[in-house]
Amino acid sequence: MPGPITIFSARKIITMDPAVEEATHVAVRDGIILELGTLDECAVWGPYTLDDRFGDSILVPGLIESHAHLLDGLLWAKAEYVGPIDRRDPSGKQHKALKSVSALVRRLKEIEAMIAAPGTPLIGWGVDPSLNDLVDPITRHDLDQVSKDRPIFLLHASCHLAYVNSATLELANYAAIKAPGVLRDASGAPTGELQEMAAMMAAIKAVASDLVGASTDTEQFFNFAKVAQARGATTIVDGGGSTYFEPAFLQAALAATGSPDFPVRIVAHNNGITVPKVEDMIAAATSLKDKGNDKLAFQGIKILLDGSNQGFTGRLRAPGYLRTGANGLWNRAPEELTRIVSAMHAAGMQIVAHCNADQASEAFIEAVAAAQAEKPRADRRHFIVHGQLLDESQLRRMAALGISATLFSNHMYYWGDFHRAHTFGAFRAAAMNPAATALRLGLVIAAHSDTPVSPVDPLLTMWAAVNRVTTTGRVQGPRERVSAYEGLRMMTYNAAWLLHRDHEIGSLRVGKRADFTVLGDDPLAVEPMAIKDVPVLATILGGRVFPVAA
Amino acid sequence: MTIPVTVIGGYLGAGKTTLLNRLLADPQGVKLAVVVNDFGSVNIDAALIANREGETISLTNGCVCCSIGDNLALALHDLAERPDGPQHIVIEASGVADPARIADYAASHPRLFLDGIVVVADAETVRERVRDKYVGDLVRDQLAAADVIVLSKTDLVDADACRQVRAWIAAEVPGARVVAAPGAGEVADLMLSGAAGRAAMSRPRADDEHSRQFATWSFVRRQMLDGGALRAAIAALPPAVVRAKGVVRLSEAPERRFVLQLVGRRWSLEPEAGEVRDDWASDPSVIVCIGLADQLEPEGLEALFAATPIGHVPQAARALLRGEGRS
């Protein structure tokens, strides 16, 4: 017995489907789109309830965040956000960017005053002095102004660094820890900056043990979902580090996503990051295939090839990093990669490959070429995550081999100036995330935030791909800008295609899921620089409305 | 008690696991913890397994094998804080890790210290690897980080090729200590500081064991040593010496004993942790060197250390000490 019909009206419904590009009404039944067109066209299906609360708004296909991490939700649950980027928390509250050490200290004092119990550590996240107006190091002296007694631990946005106060240094006995990542001043005393896990671990264990080890906290799933939903996402990817193959973790994930109030769909990549053996990855992925629910699905196996460009650990082709010529780190040896890729490809798996810099992409492309030569298979939709320095020759080979990508377009905005000055230099900074060339060559590409690295905000990501502007207003690589239509398609249909879900989501068409994002303005009609400021009013997931707090 | 940590590095397939397996088979009484990326590659005799719990396999010989999971620091801190912890920790770095970075983890806990970095290089393929566009720089960095380089698969190349690769390494890594992959009886001597000292002092090697790659040479003096002269002598040790351990008294702090640890190019001479006494005077200073049997020259070593003792050497002591030499 089919359920009741609801017809939503809108100022304009943008379908992203070339058959019928625009509509004013959409009829929904049982979570599925029944008809799109005028009210009369929709009414043909029989009795309905008209929902016209969005009558003045714009409906677009539910926006898709094609690469993010559940860690974002855990950080919101366990730590205070104190970073240099504006961010909205799961409750919808906006946290203003703290762009100087003094602003950070002021904010920490406010937070400190609200922690009642003495000795309870103050844990913060999202700090990144490289994005401050003046790049000053953060020291224990700064943090001691906040408290001399209460341990303070601030995690860097990259998760590779931390800043601590004297109380933490003392509690964790840093006098006896000689790891070179414990920075020291001229007198030999720790400055409070801890670089990399070898230096950070003693402090983490002493004051922030919540941040390591797999948490089964259900709140992390809700946080992850709420932050993304508030910016209009209806589907988000959990990008591969989570341990769904562990029964307790899977149980927590199913419990959270099984709630009718869970506001997004999660597509989780299977873990090829912390699982060493390819046979185990394939077995875990196979066993999880049908273990999801309406809002949790497993797709693709994520593998990690190199590090991060702003951390100087991405694997670059010659001439390497700016000035030094240094190169980054492999997470998988290319020859091991060849075996892994060919085994997954042969087993029918989709491979999702983190390749930040261009040599990592090169290695992946070669591995797929070998796997395809061994066992040609169409439509696997293997794709590269980040692919920041892909060039035309790599993109052409990708097109030929059926490899796609989700690009890290947000990087141009947040780190474009940093890359120009410190990692890549002028030319390569302008060449980052070449979306226009990729689309021209016929690749189906998307773009992402990689939250918690940058905030999950699909309209901002679209805006970044459309404008390629840095925080200081410089447009880098203007020919690689995409149109607003292409930008919206990257955040909808193309992302759905990467996830093998374009038959269900990613555009509005009769028979597809009733997932919409409700906007206050038309992102295809506003000034391109205004796209990120288009208000998100609500999302609709399978026909159910999830409001967004104003 | 502090726990020495050895890092085994080297590119994929170089032979790290073979070395580990040999070590686990014969740890010479040392309670060893081996930290690996993946249990699957370590070949543990099922009869040896006492217990398996999550990320840890306990062996009947007192050793444990732990997998890194997704956090090496966490695995190490767990070992360091066990009440009944190991006497030595060996970390198997991944084939693409820079062992120097992994070695940083040995300094991540007050109870741990870095004993040395052993890098395994495949005699047959290492020179080809450094020309690889993807991993050439990495393999070079791995070799450069080594305190001792273990040349594996020397049986797969002829003597001439073996000489060539040794010469190439000598040019590539100045001062490199290069040894052939040690057999089961010798692997602990090379890898474990505790075993090296004990083995050398309690069971002197017989000269007629020609199959052995290593020989030991010891230096024992009743009187205190001059710190400056000793440090100069250690710094000038020839590449044939791959490991040394010592407990010595120095004139600069007569109330303490100093511990010498040397693994290839890395060495330290630090005051012994623990009690300060004024009756150390009765203890001799002892240094044991382990080196390549075919290259170790006792006369040269004797000459190197000749200037280290302070003051007059009694005739009786000379006679006593003459008996030490190469054993």
pLDDT in tens, B213-272: 899 999 999 888 999 999 999 999 999 999 999 999 998 888 888 999 999 999 999 998
Residue B248 included in any domain: yes
Rg (CA), chain B: 20
Local confidence band at B327 (pLDDT 50, 70, 90 cut-offs): very low
pLDDT for the residue numbered B194: 60
Alpha carbon distance A235, A221 (integer Å): 13
Alpha carbon distance A220, B268 (integer Å): 47
Question: Which of B72, B96, B101 lies closest to A330 in CB terms?
Answer: B96
The CATH number assigned to the domain with range A80-207 reads 3.10.310.70
Q: Which residue of B has its CA nearest to A327?
A: B137
Burial state string for B177-198 with b = 16 or more CB within 10 A and e = fewer than 16: bbbbbbeebbbbbbbbbbbbbb
What count of other Cβ atoms lies within 10 Å of the Cβ of residue A43? 17
> Cβ of B95 and A329 within 8 Å?
no
Q: Which residue of B has its CA nearest to A315?
A: B134
pLDDT for the residue numbered A226: 98
Alpha carbon distance A534, A460 (integer Å): 10
- Edge to edge, the sheet with strand A404-407 lists A63-68, A233-238, A265-271, A296-304, A351-355, A383-386, A404-407, A445-447
Q: Which residue of B has its CA nearest to A199?
A: B108
Q: Could you read off the pLDDT of B285-304 as tens digits, one per residue?
A: 999 999 999 999 999 999 99
Joined tokens for residue B172: 């590539």
Domain shared by B251 and B309, yes or no: yes
pLDDT for the residue numbered B211: 58
Domain shared by B113 and B151, yes or no: yes
Joined tokens for residue B249: 């008294």
Q: Could you read off the pLDDT of A419-478 as tens digits, one per residue?
A: 999 999 999 999 999 999 999 999 999 999 999 999 999 999 999 999 999 999 999 999
> Cβ of B77 and A201 within 8 Å?
yes
Q: Could you read off the pLDDT of B21-56 as tens digits, one per residue?
A: 889 888 888 999 999 987 777 777 777 888 888 788
Domain shared by B212 and B186, yes or no: no
Alpha carbon distance A96, A83 (integer Å): 8
Omega before A452 within 30 of 0, i.e. cis: yes
Alpha carbon distance A330, B11 (integer Å): 12
Q: Which residue of A has its CA nearest to B104?
A: A179
Alpha carbon distance A293, B21 (integer Å): 44
Interface test with B, best of A335, A336, A358, A364 (most B CBs within 10 A): A335
Mean pLDDT of B137-150: 96
Cβ atoms of A412 and A475 within 8 Å: the answer is: no
> Nearest CA of chain B to the CA of A259: how many Å?
30
Domain shared by B158 and B212, yes or no: no
Considering B134, B159, B190, which residue would you say is the last residue of a domain?
Answer: B190
Residue B261 included in any domain: yes
Question: Which of A181, A205, A329 lies closest to B77 in CB terms?
Answer: A205
Phi, psi of B179 (to 5 degrees): -125, 155
Burial of A264 (0-12, 13-18, 19+ CB in 10 A): buried
Residue B199 included in any domain: no
Domain shared by B215 and B180, yes or no: no
Phi, psi of A484 (to 5 degrees): -60, -40
How is chain A split into domains, by residue range?
A: 5-56, 80-207, 219-505
Interface test with A, best of B5, B39, B98, B108 (most A CBs within 10 A): B108
The DSSP code sequence of B271-327 is EPSS---S-GGGSPEEEEEEEETTT--HHHHHHHHTT-B-SPPPHHHHHHHHTTSB-
The contact set of A with B (CB < 8 A) is: 173, 176-181, 196-202, 205, 212-213, 241, 273-274, 276-277, 315, 327, 329-336, 359, 363
Instruction: DSSP letter for A70, please.
Output: T
Question: Which of A176, A179, A333 lies closest to B96 in CB terms?
Answer: A333
pLDDT for the residue numbered B188: 86
Instruction: DSSP letter for A120, please.
Output: -
Cα A391 to chain centroid, rounded: 23
Domain shared by B149 and B238, yes or no: no
Alpha carbon distance B40, B43 (integer Å): 7
Q: Which residue of B has its CA nearest to A364?
A: B134
> Nearest CA of chain B to the CA of A233: how many Å?
30
Alpha carbon distance A411, A420 (integer Å): 12
> Cβ of B96 and A329 within 8 Å?
yes
Cβ-based neighbours of B171, under 8 Å, separated by 6 or more? none
Alpha carbon distance A349, A494 (integer Å): 19
Domain shared by B219 and B173, yes or no: no
pLDDT for the residue numbered A148: 95
Burial state string for A466-483 with b = 16 or more CB within 10 A and e = fewer than 16: bbbbbeeeeebbeebbbe
> Cβ of B104 and A180 within 8 Å?
yes
Alpha carbon distance B221, B52 (integer Å): 47
Question: Which of B40, B101, B137 lies closest to A277 in CB terms?
Answer: B40
Q: Which residue of A has its CA nearest to B95?
A: A333
What count of other Cβ atoms lies within 10 Å of the Cβ of residue B99? 23
> Nearest CA of chain A to the CA of B254: how many Å?
25
The contact set of B with A (CB < 8 A) is: 11-12, 37-38, 40, 69-74, 77, 95-96, 98, 101, 104-105, 107-110, 113, 134-135, 137-138
> Nearest CA of chain B to the CA of A420: how many Å?
24
Question: Which of A197, A276, A336 lies closest to B73 in CB terms?
Answer: A197
Q: B66: which chain A residues are within 8 Å (Cβ-Cβ)?
A: none
Cα B14 to chain centroid, rounded: 18
> Cβ of B107 and A198 within 8 Å?
yes
Question: Which of A177, A331, A359 lies closest to B108 in CB terms?
Answer: A177
Interface test with A, best of B104, B111, B141, B142 (most A CBs within 10 A): B104
Q: Which residues pair with B177 in a beta bridge?
A: none
pLDDT for the residue numbered B148: 95
Interface test with B, best of A306, A330, A359, A361 (most B CBs within 10 A): A330
> Cβ of A329 and B109 within 8 Å?
no
The DSSP code sequence of A16-41 is --SSS-EEEEEEEETTEEEEEESHHH
Q: Report the CATH number that the domain containing residue B34 is assigned in CATH.
A: 3.40.50.300
Cβ atoms of A107 and A82 within 8 Å: the answer is: yes
Burial of A247 (0-12, 13-18, 19+ CB in 10 A): exposed
Residue ranges for chain A with pLDDT beneath 50 = none
Q: State the Cα angle at B192 between B59 and B306, rounded to 5°.
A: 160
Give the residue, B113 or A136, on which the prediction is more confident: B113
Question: Which of B107, B109, B134 lies closest to A334 in CB terms?
Answer: B134
A5-56 topology per CATH: Urease, subunit C; domain 1 (2.30.40)
User: Backbone dihedral region of A16: left (phi > 0), alpha (psi from -120 to 50 degrees) or beta?
Assistant: left
> Cβ of A177 and B71 within 8 Å?
no
Domain shared by B115 and B243, yes or no: no
Helix ranges restricted to H, A432-515:
435-440, 458-467, 484-490, 493-498
Domain shared by B21 and B155, yes or no: yes
Phi, psi of A88 (to 5 degrees): -100, 135
Residue B223 included in any domain: yes
pLDDT for the residue numbered B278: 66
Considering B190, B224, B247, which residue would you say is the last residue of a domain?
Answer: B190
> Cβ of A179 and B69 within 8 Å?
no
* pLDDT higher than 90, residue B202: no
> Cβ of B137 and A327 within 8 Å?
yes
Alpha carbon distance A369, A204 (integer Å): 42
> Cβ of B104 and A198 within 8 Å?
yes
pLDDT for the residue numbered B208: 39
Domain shared by B53 and B115, yes or no: yes
> Cβ of B96 and A201 within 8 Å?
no
Q: Which residue of A has its CA nearest to B67?
A: A276
Asked if the ipTM is above 0.85, the reply is yes
Alpha carbon distance A95, A543 (integer Å): 31
> Nearest CA of chain A to the CA of B89: how many Å?
16
> Cβ of B70 and A179 within 8 Å?
no
Local confidence band at B314 (pLDDT 50, 70, 90 cut-offs): very low
Q: B96: which chain A residues are within 8 Å (Cβ-Cβ)?
A: 329-333, 336
Architecture of domain A219-505: Alpha-Beta Barrel (3.20)
Domain shared by B17 and B132, yes or no: yes
> Nearest CA of chain A to the CA of B73: how many Å?
6
Give the residue, B281 or B313, on which the prediction is more confident: B281
> Cβ of B71 and A332 within 8 Å?
no
Q: Report the CATH number that the domain containing residue B216 is assigned in CATH.
A: 3.30.1220.10
> Cβ of A202 and B109 within 8 Å?
yes
Considering B161, B190, B219, which residue would you say is the last residue of a domain?
Answer: B190
Cα A114 to chain centroid, rounded: 31
> Cβ of A359 and B134 within 8 Å?
yes
> Cβ of B77 and A202 within 8 Å?
yes
For all residues of chain B together, what is the average pLDDT? 85
Interface test with A, best of B37, B109, B133 (most A CBs within 10 A): B109
What count of other Cβ atoms lies within 10 Å of the Cβ of residue B207? 11
What count of other Cβ atoms lies within 10 Å of the Cβ of residue A449? 29
User: What is the tally of helices (H) and strands (E) in chain B?
Assistant: 11, 14
Range of the domain at B100: 3-190
What count of other Cβ atoms lies within 10 Å of the Cβ of residue A374? 11
> Nearest CA of chain A to the CA of B134: how many Å?
7
Please give the sequence-ordered ranges of beta strands (E in DSSP) within A203-344, or none if there are none. 233-238, 265-271, 296-304
Domain shared by B220 and B262, yes or no: yes
